[in-house]
Chain A
Amino acid sequence: MQLDRLPLNQIAVIRSIDWESLPDQEGHRLRSLGFEPGVAIEALHKGILLWRDPLAVRIGRMTVALRTKVAAAIDCEISA
């Protein structure tokens, strides 16, 4: 399931990231923030008003904000 569709407060694990679809810079920053396959992730909050964008997620012990467009490149699996 893509990260932007992940229900809130549901712990999941990143299965894969479609690096190709991301601009270099965002891919690089995503990596440096610790996004990579195998890492636990949880969607915490969705953005304002009707946009519901950006998204706040927990990765490791950190909260990171990212746009849904980037989140769509991250494939997650809800852990049992």
Chain B
Amino acid sequence: MTQMPPLVALVGNPNAGKSALFNALTGARQKIANYPGVTVERKSGRASFSDGRPVEMIDLPGAYSLDPDSLDEAVTRDVVLGNLAGHRRPDALVIVLDAGNLDNHLRFALELIAQGLPTVVALNMIDLAERDGLRLDAQALARALGVPVIETVAVRRRGLEPLMAQLDQILKAPRPVTEPVAISVGAQNQRARDIARAAIVSETAGRQWTRRLDAILLHPVGGVVILLSLLFLMFQAVYGWSEAPIGWIESGFAWLSDGIKNVMPDGLLRSFLTDGVIAGVGSVVVFLPQILILFLFILLLEASGYMTRAAFVMDRMMAAVGLSGHSFIPLLSSFACAIPGIMATRTIMDQKERLATILIAPLMTCSARLPVYTVIIGAFIPASTVGLGIGLQGLVLFGLYIAGILGAMLAAAVIQRFVTQSRTSSFLIEMPRYQWPRLGDIAINLWQRAWVFLRRAGTIIFAATIVLWALLSFPKAPDGSNVSQVEYSVAGRIADGLEPIVSPIGFNHDIALAIIPAMAAREVAVSALATVYAIDAADEDAAATSLGPKLAADWSLATALAFLAWFVFAPQCISTIAVTRRETNGWKWPIFMVSYLFVLAYAAAGITYWTARSFGL
């Protein structure tokens, strides 16, 4: 008979190191799913005892108590109490404590221990506590709590073996299940502080890194300058550092395309592979370096502890439009991709503020817009400098980001005033200690992002480009016809229908064609244009030269600018709409979001076009 392995839950305050411990214990054997009936992510994985017997671990969302004030915390409570339908109650708990923060973390620990499940305490981040001049007595703590306490340093894999051994023991010989002891919150908290005090052997002033750094990074003026410089550096890096790797990827795809042309006879299949697949997917994969650089910055800011400081610095400015520093973190993530950004809104306590943040997240210039911006900017904006070594192209890109931000702020103000009718926002957040980001963790995270992106390129974008290629290739224009293949194809005819709607905002036939498949994902617009032009090119040489010059020859500057303005606002991403539906439990808000964004996009493109025209562009 096979028996289910025991289920052990890692539980504790946010930032105690649960996820780090979970990763260390389970390694690559992880599964990410949702808890039954709720959209909270459930991370589970297998660990094993020293003799190889398996144990299933789950990484519960961080919480401050069993009295929840967010969806995530409610899941933690329900799992611990065994109240979540369709989810088995854990056989044991590993309570993860930040050794440097015992006063606060012990409150929740006491509440958890009182539930009577077999429990081991992982006294984590011992290294940081020691760095800050704190010495603790784990034995004394164990005596006071009545459960075993193991010192761990999750990120250095220290203490994992004793932890697993202890876990094995308590699972074998569980304590008799006791009724939860009712004790007043005040008394419980006092007890937590007393135990914390008793566990501290000695405390030297330590170096107080966090406090000193905060004096600089939270400085009333300096802090603002530093944050803005960091953001500016981040966006410059996205452009500057990515040139070389982009070149490698481009030549890789060109090499592949040439290879196919050399071994295959001209024909439908060859056109499918080179014009459809390689041109389409290649034009998107090329942006991988930029996306990774953006994520690299965001991950570094998160892991070092700076992100909440950025929220602190931004709070008042966000308050001006009815948001708070809490919204800053999801919105900054949305610069990489709105999907993790929208998911990160779960940490926002105020539900109205959370909704407003979700609704404006798509206005942050996500990495999928970069391909579109880059191609158009490259084609229409001269690569000159405006002095001080600042490039004009970079400046225009910066302007597009700013346009998105201003649009978002405006939208937030209007939404908070008229839609959610929120009166106040709030900002109350724990600021973790600073520490060096662990490069291994960052690398794993980056790899996961790259993988998600490549999978998109390999699935949605691949499919969209194939469909588009087919729509563009059939029916075949008769030989000797003076109508081009693009005009003659199915896609050309659909675009004909769309053209009257978009021509008032300066969009031509090609754009009408490109924005249809770009509904699936924004970056498809580029591969769509690439496919359109590759197919329309009469000879191979013309097809081989890159997209930019062709656009420059074909479009007016006014049209190009209108196209950029459209992409600042247009809600062109099915995944974002799906995530919004999930996070807001229904279609009402995603429909609202899509509608208001389309209206904005149409208006912005129109205004841009006609303004540019009036300047004779």
Contact = CB atoms under 8 A, between A and B. Distances in A.
Q: Do A and B come from one complex?
A: yes
A34 B107 contact: yes
Interface string A21-44: 001011011111110101100001
- Nearest 5 A/B pairs, CB to CB: A32-B64, A60-B103, A63-B431, A51-B316, A45-B218
B224 interface: yes
Contact of A67 (B214, B219, B428): B428
Contacts of B101: 60-62
Interface of B: 64-65, 67, 69, 100-104, 107, 185-186, 189-190, 193, 210-211, 214-215, 218-221, 223-224, 308, 311-313, 315-316, 325, 349-350, 424, 426-431, 433
Contacts of A80: none
Counting chain B CB atoms within 10 Å of each CB, which of A61, A66, A70 scores highest? A61
A56 B193 CA distance: 22
A29 B350 CA distance: 11
A47 B189 CA distance: 29
A76 to B, nearest CB: 17
B427 A66 contact: yes
A70 B426 CA distance: 9
A37 to B, nearest CB: 9
Contacts of A39: 193
11 contacts: A26-B428, A28-B67, A31-B185, A33-B64, A34-B107, A45-B218, A48-B220, A60-B104, A64-B430, A65-B429, A66-B428
B316 A53 contact: yes
A62 B214 contact: no
Interface of A: 23, 25-26, 28-34, 36, 38-39, 44-49, 51-54, 56, 59-67, 70
Contact of B189 (A29, A36, A44, A48): A36
Given A31-B185, A54-B325, A65-B325, 12 more contacts: A25-B69, A30-B428, A45-B215, A47-B312, A48-B220, A54-B316, A62-B101, A62-B103, A62-B104, A64-B428, A65-B312, A70-B428
A14 B100 CA distance: 22
A61 B316 contact: no
Nearest to B432: A63
B215 A28 contact: no
A58 B215 CA distance: 13
B220 A52 contact: yes
Contacts of B69: 25, 28-29, 32
B429 A44 contact: no
B17 to A, nearest CB: 15
A30 to B, nearest CB: 7
A40 B395 CA distance: 49
Contacts of A56: 214, 218, 312, 431
A25 B107 contact: no
Nearest to B108: A32
A65 B427 contact: yes
Nearest to A57: B431
B315 A29 contact: no
Contacts of B219: 45
Nearest to A36: B189
Contacts of A23: 424, 426
Give the most central of B185, B215, B308, B431: most A CB within 10 Å.
B431
Nearest to A49: B220
B101 to A, nearest CB: 5
Contact of B102 (A31, A54, A61, A70): A61
A21 to B, nearest CB: 13
A48 B430 contact: no
Contact of A64 (B103, B218, B429): B429
B315 A63 contact: no
A60 B441 CA distance: 29
Nearest to B349: A25
Nearest to B351: A25
B209 to A, nearest CB: 12
Contacts of A63: 210, 214, 430-431, 433
A46 to B, nearest CB: 7
Contacts of A44: 211, 214
Contacts of B224: 48-49
B214 A26 contact: no
A47 B220 contact: yes
A34 B107 CA distance: 9
A72 B21 CA distance: 39
A61 B429 contact: no
Nearest to A35: B428
A39 to B, nearest CB: 8
A31 B429 CA distance: 12
A32 B607 CA distance: 50
A49 B221 contact: yes
A27 to B, nearest CB: 10
A67 B426 CA distance: 7
A18 B219 CA distance: 29
A46 B324 CA distance: 16
Contacts of A59: 104
A70 B350 CA distance: 15
Nearest to A63: B431
Contact of A65 (B65, B67, B428): B428
Nearest to A53: B316
